[in-house]
Amino acid sequence: MSNQLTRRDFAIRTTSLGLAMGLAPAATLAETEQASRSETSPAVADPYSLVDPELLPTLKHFPASFDLSAETVRQFRQLPGTPALPAPAPQPVERHIPGPPGAPEVRLWIVDPAPSEKNKPLLLHMHGGGFMMIGPGWMPLLQSIATDCHCVVVSVDYRLAPETRYPGALDDNYAALKWVHAHAAELGVDRSRIAVGGESAGGTHAASLAIHARDRNKEDVPICFQLLIYPALDDRTGSSRPAPPAIGHFMWTASANRFAWSSLLGVPAGSSKVPVAAVPARVASVAGLPPAWIGVGALDLFVEEDMEYARRLVHAGVATELLVVRGAFHGFDLLVPDAEVSKQFTASWKFALRKAFATKS
């Protein structure tokens, strides 16, 4: 079974358990469409009409909107994770490293496609899951990146919200970054080719980590590239900044975004109480950050904030590539991996990562 099919089957299995991507009570298609019509402005009478035709049949198995809550998070956490792909795929190895001062150890998962080789590139990966969960298909995704990009992948099992508020996860991720730099020789890694990346909330954490590492450059843990796959970059989206009518209807909504960011920050999302350093979009300057690839669907709640972040990077002289996928919603590539837009999207970010590794900083 392929990596892509494994992740898709996991998503569909969560529906059979009464959850939409593990987050929402199941609803009939008629109920979903009625709710969508009732909550949509006249300018977008049918949000489904904007969805890529290849994505549409699978999408209609899921509610268009849902309420993210502590209970749905608890239910998601109880779901079994997607198992790693069997050999000959490179196998994940569990490792525990010292955590931040006064904090528990940090668990890492290391996937090395060529253990005997030296001077390999490395991707420090942060998983998605709305800051509070672990996204589906975690292990197969790590294996596919390691194989297709011929790099060591080290994924951080950072502490989750709401039990751990900001900056707990950032501290865990930074501890992992320092560890891979310090143990580069042991890992067979070239220190000049260490990238950070992740999908959704993992992209948020990767962007925050790049900013944090820049601001603490005296510790000399350079990052060569940041891979940001539909990242959440602004807590104000869906709270103090309402979403435009055409976006954020599917899979990840404004209400889910408010709940997730508030859970991470410990204060209301979009409020004046939010610490600036906790949110990439709120940081005053993005100058001096590593080159970036940012990809997002045109119907994703995060599309505007991702485009704005890319604009800021470009204006600051940071080499940046932005891909906006027509007709695509949040997580579309995981839900319908065999769609042409999904295959093109995945090929784009993997090509960008390989290209970054081929060009030493």
Model-level pTM? 0.90
Tell me the C-alpha distance between 201 and 196, whole Å.
13
Q: With contact defined as beta carbons under 8 Å apart, do 125 and 138 qualify?
A: no
Q: Which amino acid is at 220?
A: D
Q: What percent of the chain has pLDDT over 90?
A: 80
Out of 208, 239, 330, 342, the active site residue is 330
pLDDT of 41 reads 44
Torsion of CA 149, 198, 300, 347, to 10 degrees: 0
Q: What is the pLDDT of residues 170-190, one digit of tens each?
A: 999 999 999 999 999 999 999
Q: What is the pLDDT of residues 279-310, one digit of tens each?
A: 999 999 999 999 999 999 999 999 999 999 99
Take residue 145 and report the two structure tokens written for it. Answer: 């990146």
CB atoms within 10 A of CB 191: 18
Closest-CA residue to 112 (of 26, 186, 11) = 186
Is 181 annotated as catalytic?
no
Is 69 annotated as catalytic?
no
Out of 52, 234, 235, 300, the active site residue is 300
Strand order in the sheet with 120-126: 93-97, 106-111, 152-157, 120-126, 189-199, 225-229, 292-297, 320-325
**Termini Cα distance of the chain:** 37
Out of 200, 208, 239, 342, the active site residue is 200
SS3 category, 219:
helix
Tell me the C-alpha distance between 261 and 130, whole Å.
8
Q: What is the pLDDT of residues 9-66, one digit of tens each?
A: 444 434 333 333 334 333 323 333 333 333 444 467 899 999 999 999 999 988 766 6
The residues near 310 (Cβ < 8 Å, ≥ 6 apart) are: 292, 294, 320, 322
Q: With contact defined as beta carbons under 8 Å apart, do 293 and 265 qualify?
A: no
Q: What is the pLDDT of residues 69-107, one digit of tens each?
A: 999 999 999 988 889 999 999 999 999 999 999 999 999
Query: Each residue of 104-123: b (16+ CB within 10 Å) or e?
Result: eebbbbbbbbeeeeeebbbb
Tell me the C-alpha distance between 291 and 358, whole Å.
13
pLDDT of 113 reads 98
The residues near 45 (Cβ < 8 Å, ≥ 6 apart) are: 37
Quote helix, strand, coil % in the chain, to nearest 5.
40, 15, 45
pLDDT exceeds 90 at position 191? yes
pLDDT of 28 reads 29
Is 300 annotated as catalytic?
yes
Take residue 223 and report the two structure tokens written for it. Answer: 């990052």
pLDDT of 62 reads 83
Tell me the C-alpha distance between 139 and 166, whole Å.
25
SS3 category, 322:
strand
Tell me what the pLDDT averaged over the chain comes to: 89
**pLDDT, greater one: 18 or 351:** 351
